Chain A
Amino acid sequence: MAMVQPRSLRWRKLAAHLALIGFLVLILFPLLLVISISFREGNFATGSLIPERFSLEHWSLALGIPWERADGTVVQPPFPVLLWLWNSVKVALVSSLLIVLLSTTSAYAFARMRFAGKGPILKSMLIFQMFPAVLSLVALYALFDRLGQFVGWLGINTHGALIVASLGAVALHIWTIKGYFESIDGSLEEAAMVDGASTWQAFRYILLPLSLPILMVVFILAFVMSIMEYPMASVLLVDEHKLTLAVGAQQYLADHNQRWGNFAAAAVLSGLPITVAFLICQRWIIGGLTAGGVKG
């Protein structure tokens, strides 16, 4: 608490609150608007934030249930939103599990062992991580195109390809976990090894249980990043029923046929769980993100 206080404190506090609230209204307007639009009737409805003509049509369509209008016409859902969401979740779950697996073992070696080429490998991992995947899409496409000739589940238009391709982005997670491992005293493992545990056992039974929190953080981080991944999915996936949400959602706002209302419902439906998950885990996610200095 500051000891020396300037005068006119109350007015300045009020001004600060007003400024913050004003800014928040401006910033949150788009999000509130979309929620409002999702309950409005029709695809181009305009009006106040609280809908005058309340309708559940968009929500019904987003959930994949055909909607019967008052005049008797039945509207079919334009896109399989739930299927896209499921695809996204499926890909994200598998890839983030694999990422946690890969980065934990590597981080253990980097934190606890001495071996040839450790420093250069770590540094070059950081450098290579900065190259965006968009630029090597041609090469990645060629790689999976060729692989698909021999291994069906790794070809173009498979979720396998997308999952495997995401495994390249492990450097950030390795650094996060490595930092955590280094903050744990090594003497516990040492004691275990003196008592006859192997390296693997010391890692598996001593260090891993101690570092569950950071593994959860990395899992959530990788999950969120995978859900938001767009460029690779847009090139590797072709069929409508294979798309992930990030690629599929833009079809609502195609230039020739904008379905603003339908999009709003689908956006709230699919965005809300991800947003809530992010907010619940914000403490850890933010720690991980700001440490690496890379935005997902």
Chain B
Amino acid sequence: MYTTNASRGLPRHRSRYPAERYTRWALRGLVAALVLALLWLVLAFHLNGQPIFALLFLVLGAALGVVFTRRTLMSHRYIFPAVASMALFVIFPLLYTVGISFSNYSSSNLLSEERVRAQLLSRTYQEESATFGFQLYSSDEGVRLYLEREGAPSTTGEAEAELEEALEGVSRFVTGPMSLQDSERRHVAIQPAEGEPVGVPLAMREVIAYRTALQNLVLATPEGLELRMAGLRHYAPMLDRYEARDDGSLYDRRDDLLLTADGETGFFVTEVGERITPGWPVAVGLDNYARIFLDPDIRGPFIQIFVWTFAFAGLTVLFTLIVGFVLASLLQWDQLRGKALYRTLLILPYAVPAFISILIFKGMFNQHFGEINLILDALFGVRPNWFTDPWLARSMLLIVNTWLGYPYMLLLCMGLIQSIPRDLYEASAVDGGGPLTNLFQITLPLIIKPLTPLLIACFAFNFNNFVLIALLTGGNPDILGASTPAGTTDLLVSYTYRIAFQDAGQNFGLAAAIATLIFLLVAGLALLNLRLAKVRV
């Protein structure tokens, strides 16, 4: 092997060819533009309060800058794009997932603390202590809404006092003439009134007819106070529900409660410990892992799914290997004609896109009109419930997966059997060895060693065979009594996916904890594989 000047860090001469010089400058410009774009992203993420993503792109931008300016790293320029995309889309998500597993990130703890605070502060409530009865007065110009205060002003709480101040003692308001045909949400100004406006008051029946339009009216006083409909006969003022205090707590003006931010759970809580949703994600340590192993409602289904995942992957490897090996041995037989045609037809299941063939099987196994049940019904008079009985559903998965996977094993075995020297079989035949002796004394011992790493890879693939489960059974039928969505045919991956994306709670933290456990398992398999395969670099 030779080493180029550039990768030894020696200076590169100015090129004799103008075209090459321009290309070099264009490339430098491109790198500079990329670095600038990444830095812009860093700034954007930083200002948006997302330090992790800012850090990610900072590292990426810095690495890009360093690799493409230092001459000693010339060789690394060639691998940088691939390594960077792996870092961004494989390694970063992996680390991020592990990170999430130590938090309570979920659909109820999704936004940052500032966003939660802002959301709570924008909430309003209807102040019931000051209600206004209303009447609609119809005239030629349109309908006027006339409000008259009911009940005496109260001054018991802070919120009430503020309200009275905003009303300035006015107890009658009226709108300008308007049309109530349009029921879009809109703001309408109201003015203090001396008495009832001109026109005829509408009867209750007609008021009810305008109900949708009235519900969507927001009446605004000159002081900026907003009133909304509260029941069929009343309007009431809308007030900000929460008020920020200097010590970071929130004051609930409707219920007179003090809410403090709880850094342990990521919620605002009242003095009695009641949580206000939404919350924000906080670190919870090993809680998610503890739940997997200690909470009986999660541990039960988890162990069941864990065992089934291993059984599924192991049995799939076994079945596909047996079918593939037998077929490969047959196709290796010299006397057999038409091997090429057989081979092509036999690998057809591999050539059809999996997402299509899985769906074909989903239709064929359908209990009512699927062809498999029609045939079984005609032959034996049974119509098994392939999708609702756990054991039948599992058998169906294994049948379909064997169909999908045996061509791969067939190809592997054919390649390996071909590499066995033919003289061995000749010698065996001379010594009177039959096919079984050949199989157990020659073929199997010779192919098992190179086959093992490939079998492990196949096991790992089926261990995480998400597409099959998602398209065929969706994990159903469900395990009874589980607190998370868990099915009897779920593999660990599809279980994780359902916790994260299908559950009403969207418990990302718990899903990430299970994902982390699978990562560890897969990493173990990968290392084992690497060792067995003796990968030379």
Hey, which bits of chain A sit against chain B, CB under 8 A? Answer: 1-4, 6, 9, 13, 16-17, 19-20, 23-24, 27-28, 30-31, 33-34, 44, 46, 101-103, 105-106, 108-110, 112-115, 118-119, 121-123, 125-140, 142-143, 146-147, 149-151, 164-165, 167-171, 174, 186, 190, 193, 198-199, 224, 227-228, 230-231, 234-235, 245-246, 249-250, 252-253, 258, 260, 263-264, 267, 270-271, 274-275, 278-279, 282, 286, 289-290, 293-295
Contact = CB atoms under 8 A, between A and B. Distances in A.
A228 B404 CA distance: 14
B515 A24 contact: no
Contacts of A121: 79, 83
Given A121-B79, A139-B92, A275 B429 contact: no
B335 A122 contact: no
Interface in B1-34: 1-7, 12, 15, 20
Nearest to B499: A138
Closest 10 CB pairs of A and B: A168-B89, A136-B93, A109-B78, A139-B93, A139-B96, A115-B75, A278-B351, A106-B82, A167-B85, A132-B464
B398 interface: no
Given A134-B464, A140-B93, A170-B86, 4 more contacts: A19-B330, A105-B79, A267-B359, A295-B458
A190 B493 CA distance: 49
Contacts of B333: 16
Interface string B58-99: 000000000000000111101101110110111111101100
Contacts of A263: 359, 363
A136 B349 contact: no
A106 B79 contact: yes
Contacts of B45: 146, 150
Given A9-B335, A290-B412, A294-B461, A113 B75 contact: yes
B471 A230 contact: yes
B429 A167 contact: no
Given A108-B78, A134-B466, A295-B405, A146 B50 contact: yes
Interface in B480-537: 493-494, 496-497, 500-501, 508, 511-512, 515, 518-519, 522-523, 525-527, 529-530, 533, 535, 537
Nearest to B347: A282
A250 B471 contact: yes
B352 A31 contact: yes
A150 B471 contact: no
Contacts of A130: 457, 460, 522-523, 525-526, 529
Contacts of B512: 138
Contacts of A270: 353, 356
Interface in B318-364: 327, 330, 333-336, 342, 344-357, 359-364
B112 to A, nearest CB: 12
B184 interface: no
Contact of A123 (B48, B496, B537): B537
B326 to A, nearest CB: 9
Given A31-B348, A112-B1, A143 B454 contact: no
Residue among B83, B334, B519 having the largest count of chain A Cβ atoms under 10 Å = B83
Given A102-B82, A106-B83, A127-B530, A289 B408 contact: yes
B530 A131 contact: no
Contacts of B411: 286, 289-290
A253 B472 CA distance: 10
A130 B523 CA distance: 8
B11 to A, nearest CB: 13
A127 B74 CA distance: 25
Interface in B362-392: 362-364, 366, 369, 371, 374
A253 B363 contact: yes
A235 B506 CA distance: 14
B237 interface: no
Given A125-B86, A231-B470, A118 B81 contact: no
B501 to A, nearest CB: 7
A123 B530 contact: yes
B430 interface: yes
A49 B327 CA distance: 27
A44 to B, nearest CB: 5
B78 A105 contact: yes
Contact of A135 (B97, B334, B429): B97
B296 interface: no
A198 B78 CA distance: 14
Contacts of B93: 133, 136, 139-140, 143
Contacts of A164: 85, 89
A27 B346 contact: yes
Given A121-B83, A174-B82, A295 B4 contact: no
B76 A115 contact: yes
Contacts of B225: none
B7 A135 contact: no
B6 A198 contact: yes
B323 to A, nearest CB: 9
7 contacts: A13-B336, A31-B349, A130-B522, A137-B500, A138-B500, A143-B93, A228-B353
Contact of B94 (A20, A128, A165): A128
A186 B1 CA distance: 7
Contact of A34 (B73, B360, B429, B496): B360
B425 interface: yes
B96 A142 contact: yes
B306 interface: no
Interface string B164-205: 000000000000000000000000000000000000000000
A135 B518 contact: yes
A126 B535 contact: yes
Nearest to A150: B44
Contacts of B530: 123, 126-127
Contacts of A2: 334, 422, 425-426, 429
Given A102-B81, A136-B96, A128 B90 contact: yes
Contacts of B342: 20, 24
Interface string B267-288: 0000000000000000000000
Contacts of B405: 295
Given A250-B471, A253-B359, A275-B348, A106 B425 contact: no
Nearest to A292: B457
B352 A275 contact: yes
Given A138-B512, A230-B467, A168 B86 contact: yes
A165 B342 CA distance: 38
B78 A127 contact: no
B1 A146 contact: no
B493 A199 contact: no
B41 interface: yes
B403 interface: yes
B78 A118 contact: no
A24 to B, nearest CB: 5
B359 A139 contact: no
Contacts of A168: 85-86, 88-90
Contacts of B355: 228, 230, 245-246, 249-250
Contact of B527 (A33, A127, A140, A260): A127
A234 B355 CA distance: 12
A19 to B, nearest CB: 7
Contacts of B97: 135-136, 138-139
